A and B are shown apart, each in its own frame.
Chain A
Amino acid sequence: MKAGKRIGYVLALAVFLILTLGPFIWTFVLSVTPEYAMMEKNTKLLPDEATYENYKELLTAGSQKGSILITGIKNALKAVGATLVIGIPVSMMSAYALSRMEFKGRKIIRNLLLITMVIPVMATIIPLFRLFVDRQWLDDVFWLSMVYVSSYLPMVTWLMSNYFATIPKELEESAMIDGCGRMASFLRIILPASYPIILSAALIMFLNTWSQFQIPLILASSLETKPVAIVVSEFMTKDSVQYGLTAAAGMIAVIPPAVTALVFRRFLISGMMGGAVKG
């Protein structure tokens, strides 16, 4: 790179990093700032001394706040588990049928599924709320997870059928000539070839489930079901004075998805691109 270009690049890099990571860094600074320093009216950006009391309080199961936050994390993880166990097989089966089989009504089913991608949560949540009250599902992570699954299926099925369509048909045909049934050829040919897309789909479902706020706000009000984002929101409204503690809770809530995104970036990016753009 030429000198002028290099300076331009470094500047762009700095702006990009500050705007992307700035809010995390600032929230981290707040989370280690002692309560008394937070109230000081000055323009110092960093506190004179750092304290890790907030993290200690939140990560000990004995403290009241800590146990609520830990329960919220567990609830979110339970929902992640349930959505993956149900969502991955269901979307794979649908994607396989929609991308590699000829049958009546294929186009209609595909389009109806895609259309649900643009239906806002609020358009379904009122009858769902009634259903959940009637059936006493409000305290049940399983049914909550089913609602999440219903909101991911269109996107994930779309992603997978795009991918399945790129696997050459001849591979499957030759397996069937060799005496494999449809099921066996799916298990031997399609499944092994599609682990990257399964991983992408799983990552997208994990991140989305971890992020849920609007659905659990209405359908998961009890301590046994409410996920981590709802718990953080309660810290915010009930204890708006304790900025440090809320900041620490926010940091804890972003660490699992952030680490996942950094580690599995390749699969996540190909998944994001594959959902919107083919190939």
Chain B
Amino acid sequence: MPNLRQNNMKKKILPYLLLTPMILIMGVLVFYPVIATFSYSLKKWKLTAPNDIHVVGLRNYATILKSDSFWYSFRNTLFILAVVVVLTTVLGFLVSVFLNIDVKWSGILLAVAILPWALPPYVNGILWKFVFSSGYGFMNKLCIGLGLVSRPVEWLSSRWSLLVVVSLVVTWRSIPFMALVCLAGRQSIPEGLYEAARIDGGNRRTIFRRITLPLMLPFLGIGITSTSVTAINVFDEIIALSGYSDLGKNLLVESYLTTFSFLDFGKGSAVTYLVMLFAGILGVFYLRNLNREVEY
């Protein structure tokens, strides 16, 4: 019966046919470039010296790991990562508690809550730059008006205060996702569990410690790992707040400047690979959390 066999063949190749466009797009625009970037990172390759391109092995990595500029950016990345993750987790959880209160305008509040997530991160950075601008921006008007300082503060001109502002803006954009994940976690806990605990005489603190927290942990895991990946990959907000300067640069800005300002493709690629290693370790935890959620 040739017809049936033909049908069977069709059945077998159909999934691959359906996946072909995706595989082509991901292959050409993601997997090939990722591998190519690695091969670039092993080369001496400056656009300013186009005739002098050759393989140097791991020398780019060695130079980078010895440079102050790299470690400056590394420390900035760590600072942003730590501040953003801690603030986003705490504030995102609080916002989820707030949003979980049932009021008439809950829907609208939820919509307002996701606004910072929905808008262009670069433009978010600009909005906040106006708040913290050096002359008579909002923050300075407020601080002077309240008598906290007598002259305008240069918020964005010193390393640590700039990094604090960057972290706040990134936190502002990351809270919505964290809050929604926490909300989903909170709503997945059956009300019956709480009733049973109350009948057993549990007070609010033990209920929180014994029921709410452990059952929400997997959700918090997703929120925290995804926030970490975001925090390592911050780019738009830094450029919006401080331009292409060295002051607040993190590893991604370092990689961008090395590649496209100093036109050193070899070293730029190597910096990128180091960032990817860093983000990849966190990424593995993220994917593990996602997959665990699926089986449940």
Complex contacts, B166 vs chain A, CB 8 Å: none
Q: Which listed residue (B26, B107, B181, B239) contacts A233, Cβ 8 A?
A: B239
Q: Does B14 contact A (CB under 8 A)?
A: yes
| Interface of B (DSSP majority class) | helix
Task: Tell me, yes or no, whether B213 is within 8 Å of chain A by CB.
Answer: no
Contact A126 B37 (CB under 8 A): yes
Of the A-B pairs whose beta carbons lie under 8 Å apart in the complex, a sample of 24, sorted by A's number, is A16-B95, A22-B131, A23-B131, A42-B141, A90-B21, A96-B18, A103-B16, A112-B31, A116-B26, A118-B229, A118-B279, A119-B30, A122-B255, A124-B34, A124-B37, A128-B29, A157-B22, A213-B120, A229-B123, A236-B240, A243-B133, A269-B114, A272-B180, A276-B222
Question: Which of B26, B145, B259 makes the CB contact (< 8 A) with A150?
Answer: B26
Query: With an 8 A cutoff between CB atoms, is A146 at the interface?
Result: yes
CB distance from A2 to the nearest CB of B (A): 13
**B272 engages A26 (CB within 8 Å):** no
- Judge whether A45 is part of the interface by a CB distance below 8 angstroms: yes
Q: Which residues from chain A contact B4 at a C-beta distance below 8 Å?
A: none
- Check: A210 CB closer than 8 A to any chain B CB: yes
Smallest CB–CB gap between A168 and chain B, Å? 18
Q: Is there contact, CB below 8 Å, between B286 and A118?
A: yes
A123 touches B37 (CB 8 A): yes
Closest Cβ of chain A to B153, distance in Å, is: 13
Q: B40 interface residue, CB < 8 Å from A? A: yes
In the assembled complex, the CB of B259 is this many whole angstroms from the nearest CB of chain A, namely 6
Query: Are A26 and B130 in contact (CB-based, < 8 A)?
Result: yes
Complex contacts, B113 vs chain A, CB 8 Å: 16, 20
- A276 and B220 alpha carbons, distance in the complex (Å): 11
Residues of B within 8 A of A13 (CB): 98
Residue in A118, A149, A158, A277 whose CB lies within 8 Å of B184: A277
A237 lies within 8 A of chain B by Cβ? yes
How far is A151 from B29 in the complex, measured between Cα atoms in Å?
9
Interface check A63, CB cutoff 8 A: no
Contact with A along B32-46 (1 / 0, CB 8 A): 111011001000000
Q: Which of B23, B25, B113, B280 has the most CB of A within 10 A?
A: B25
Contact with A103, one of B12, B124, B229, B236 (Cβ below 8 angstroms):
B12
Per-position 1/0 for B122-151, Cβ under 8 A of A: 111011111101011010011011000000
Q: Which chain A residue lies CB-closest to B114?
A: A261
Instruction: Determine if A211 and B136 form an interchain contact, defined as CB atoms under 8 angstroms apart.
Output: no
Residues of A within 8 A of B118 (CB): 207, 257-258, 260-261, 268
Q: Interface with A: B65-73, B154-162, B200-208, B288-296, which one? A: B288-296
Closest 10 pairs (CB-CB, A-B): A118-B283, A124-B33, A127-B36, A265-B111, A211-B120, A150-B29, A43-B145, A261-B118, A127-B33, A23-B127
Chain A stretch 109-150: residues in CB contact (< 8 A) with chain B = 109, 111-128, 131, 146-147, 149-150
Q: How far is the CB of B151 from chain A (nearest CB, A)?
A: 10
Query: Are A278 and B296 also in contact (CB < 8 A) when A101-B14, A118-B280 are?
Result: yes
Are A16 and B98 closer than 8 Å at their CB atoms?
A: yes
A114 near B21: Cβ-Cβ < 8 Å:
no
CA–CA, A269 and B128, complex, Å: 25
- Residue B233 is within 8 A (CB to CB) of chain A in the complex: yes
In contact, B25 and A150 (Cβ under 8 angstroms): yes
- A94: which B residues are within 8 A, CB to CB? 18-19, 21-22
Does A210 contact B120, Cβ atoms closer than 8 Å?
A: yes
A167 at the interface (CB under 8 A from B): no
> Using Cβ atoms and an 8 Å threshold, which residues of chain B touch A262?
111-112, 115
* Alpha-carbon gap, A214 to B287, bound state (A): 24
Which residues from B are CB-within-8-Å of A236?
A: 126, 129, 240
Contacts of B138 in A (CB 8 A): 22, 26, 45
Cα A20 to Cα B44 with chains together (Å)? 47
Given contacts A213-B120, A258-B118, contact A43 B144 (CB under 8 A): yes
Bound-complex Cα distance A207 to B294 (A): 26
Is B93 an interface position by the 8 A CB rule? no
Are B22 and A276 in contact, with the CB atoms below 8 A? no
Measured between beta carbons, the chain B residues less than 8 angstroms from A269 are: 110, 114, 180
Bin chain B's interface residue count: 35 or more
- Using Cβ atoms and an 8 Å threshold, which residues of chain A touch B283? 115, 117-118
Please measure, in the bound complex, the distance between the C-alpha atom of A33 and the C-alpha atom of B158, giving whole angstroms: 28
Q: A12 touching B272 by the CB < 8 A rule?
A: no
Question: What residues on B are CB-neighbors of A268 within 8 Å?
Answer: 114, 118
B15 and A272 contacting across the interface, CB-CB below 8 Å? no
Q: Which A residues lie within 8 Å of B30 (CB)? A: 116, 119, 124, 150-151
Does the CB pair A277–B26 fall under 8 Å?
Answer: no
Say whether B269 faces chain A, with CB atoms less than 8 Å apart: yes
Kindly state the separation between the CA atoms of A118 and B40 in the bound complex, as whole angstroms.
21
Question: Which listed residue, A40, A90, A114, A257, touches B136 by the CB 8 Å rule?
Answer: A40
In the assembled complex, how far is the CB of residue A13 from the closest CB belonging to chain B, in whole angstroms? 8
* B contact residues around A257 at 8 Å (CB): 118-120
A257 to B236, CA, bound (A): 17
Which A residues are in CB contact (< 8 Å) with B177?
272, 276
Chain A residues with Cβ below 8 Å from B287 are 111, 114-115, 117-118
Task: Select which of A112, A124, A243 is within 8 A of B130 by beta carbon.
Answer: A243
User: Given A114-B287, A123-B273, A211-B120, A23 and B32 touching (CB < 8 A)?
Assistant: no
Q: Which residues of B contact A52 (CB under 8 A)?
A: none
